[in-house]
Amino acid sequence: MQSDKKDISLEKKVLFSIVVIVLFFLSLEATARIIDFIKNKPYVADFPDVIYDSHPYIPIILKPNTSFKPRNITINSLGYRGKDFKLIKTPGTFRIVCIGGSTVFGIGSSSDKTTFPQFIENILNSKMPGKKFEVINAGVPGYTTAESLIDLELRLLDLSPDLIFIYHGYNDFKPNRFPNFKSDYSHWRYREPIYIGRPFLDNFRFYTKLTNLILKYVPKKQDSSFPDLKRFDSASVEGVKAFERNLRSTIYITKSRNIKVMLSTFVIPLNDANLKKDPEMFKALLYFTPTLTYKGVLDARTKYNNAVKELAEEENITLIDFDKIMPQSLEYFDDYVHFNDKGAMFIGENIAKIIIENYFK
C-alpha cells in the first residue's frame, strides 16, 4: 500500500513539473506576443512557409487558397496571386498572363491590389470601357526562365491567354557563374532548395526572438551563404545563351498557339549614386548572386537585356525597354530589385499604354 502511495505521489510530482514547465513556456510565448502586439509588429517567419507547394516537375508552385497576412499576399483557388478568376475565360475577355519571378509576383508591393499585373488590368478596363480585360499574375518568387518555360507548357496554356508578358533576367543571373555550368541549371538549382513549411520551433515567437538575440552577438563570417565561391566581374556567355534559348522556346510555344508576346528588359537600380545613398539595400544583391561582384551584376544586366532586345527584334515582338525608360531613383523600389507601389504603378501604366497602342488602335 505504501509503495502504491509513493508511486502516486511520484506521478503527481512529475505531472506537476510538466504543468509548471508548460505554463512557463506558454507565459514566455504570451509575453513575446504581447510585446509584438504593443509594437504593432506582426510575426513573420517568411511567406514561403505558407504559400509554396511542391510540384513533380517544377521546384515549387504557389499553393491555392492560401494567404500571408503580414505582407497582404493572397493566392487564389487556381494558384496565382490576386483575386479569383475562372479557368475558362468569359467570351469576349482579353486575357493577359504576366510571367516572371518575384518582381512580377510583387514582393515589394503592399498588397495584391498594388502589383503591376493588377495595375495593368485596372488601367486597361478604365481606359477601354467597351472591352473586358483580365490580367493574371503568374509570377513565382525564385523562378528563372527554365521554370517559367515548364510552367507555361504544363499550366499556363490552360488559361487560354491572348497575350503573354515576360519579365525575366535577374534570377537567371544566379546560375550563370556557378561552377560546372549546365544549360538546364541543374548545376545550381539543387544548391538553392526552397523549403516548404517552417521548422516546428519557428512557430514560437519567444524561440525566434531568443535565437535572433543570440545570433545578433555571433560574428558573421561572410555576407554570402556560399563563401567558397569565386566572384566574377562579368557574366558568362554560355549562361546568357541558356537564358536566350529558354526565352526563344517560350516565344515559339506561344506563337504556335497564336498568342501574342511582349518582352521587357529587366531593371536593377544599381549605380554609384544609389550605392552611396543606401549601401545596405544592395548587400542582399551580392548575397543572392554569390558568384558576381557589383561590376558582374552590371555586366549581367547589360548582356541579358541585350539578349532580350535582340530576340524581340529577330522575332518581331513588342519590346518595352524598362531598363532605359524607368527612373533609377530608389523611390520606385522596395529593395535592390523589387518595385514598391510607386514603381509597380509606373510599370503597369507603361505596359497598359503599349498594349493599347499596339493591339487596339
Q: What is the pLDDT of residues 154-200, one digit of tens each?
A: 999 999 999 999 999 999 999 999 999 999 999 998 654 455 555 56
Distance CA 9, CA 135 (A): 68
343 and 272 in a common domain: yes
Handedness of CA 269, 272, 273, 275 (dihedral sign): positive
HSE (side-chain half, CA atoms, 13 Å) at 131: 15
- Amino acid 224: pLDDT: 43
5 and 52 in a common domain: no
Residues 133, 170 contacting (CB under 8 angstroms): no
Kindly state the helix (H) or strand (E) to which residue 310 belongs, with its residue range. Answer: helix 294-314
Check pLDDT > 90 for residue 149: yes
Q: What is the mean pLDDT of the chain?
A: 88
Q: For the chain, how big is the Rg over CA atoms in Å?
A: 24
240 and 134 in a common domain: yes
Residues 141, 102 contacting (CB under 8 angstroms): yes
Q: Which three cell numbers stand for residue 299?
A: 555586366
53 and 37 in a common domain: no
Closest to 246 (Cα-Cα) out of 100, 356, 132:
100
Closest to 167 (Cα-Cα) out of 266, 233, 245:
266
73 and 9 in a common domain: no
Is pTM beyond 0.75? Reply is yes
78 and 175 in a common domain: yes
220 and 150 in a common domain: yes
Number of domains in the chain: 2
What's the whole-number mean pLDDT along residues 70-83?
A: 93
Which range marks the domain in which residue 325 is found? 42-359
51 and 8 in a common domain: no
Check pLDDT > 60 for residue 227: no
Q: Which three cell numbers stand for residue 26?
A: 506558454
Residue 258, classed as helix, strand or coil, is coil
Torsion over CA of 226, 230, 234 and 237, rounded to 10 degrees? -90
**Strands (DSSP E) found in the chain:** 52-53, 61-62, 66-68, 73-75, 93-100, 132-137, 163-167, 260-264, 318-320
First to last CA, the chain: 97
Distance CA 253, CA 251 (A): 5
Lowest model confidence (mean pLDDT) among 148-152, 167-171, 207-211, 261-265: 207-211
For residue 238, which amino acid is it?
E
Q: What is the pLDDT of residues 111-142, one digit of tens each?
A: 999 999 999 999 999 999 989 999 999 999 99
162 and 118 in a common domain: yes
For residue 281, which amino acid is it?
M
User: CA geometry: angle at 235 spanning 232 and 239, to 5°?
Assistant: 130
37 and 127 in a common domain: no
14 and 108 in a common domain: no
Q: What is the pLDDT of residues 255-270, one digit of tens each?
A: 999 999 999 999 999 9
Distance CA 311, CA 259 (A): 17
CATH number of 286's domain: 3.40.50.1110
37 and 77 in a common domain: no
Q: What is the pLDDT of residues 299-347, one digit of tens each?
A: 999 999 999 999 999 999 999 999 999 998 999 999 999 999 999 999 9
- Amino acid 29: pLDDT: 74
- Amino acid 222: pLDDT: 46
Residues 95, 355 contacting (CB under 8 angstroms): no
Look-up of cell digits 533609377: 328
Closest to 58 (Cα-Cα) out of 172, 169, 168, 184:
184
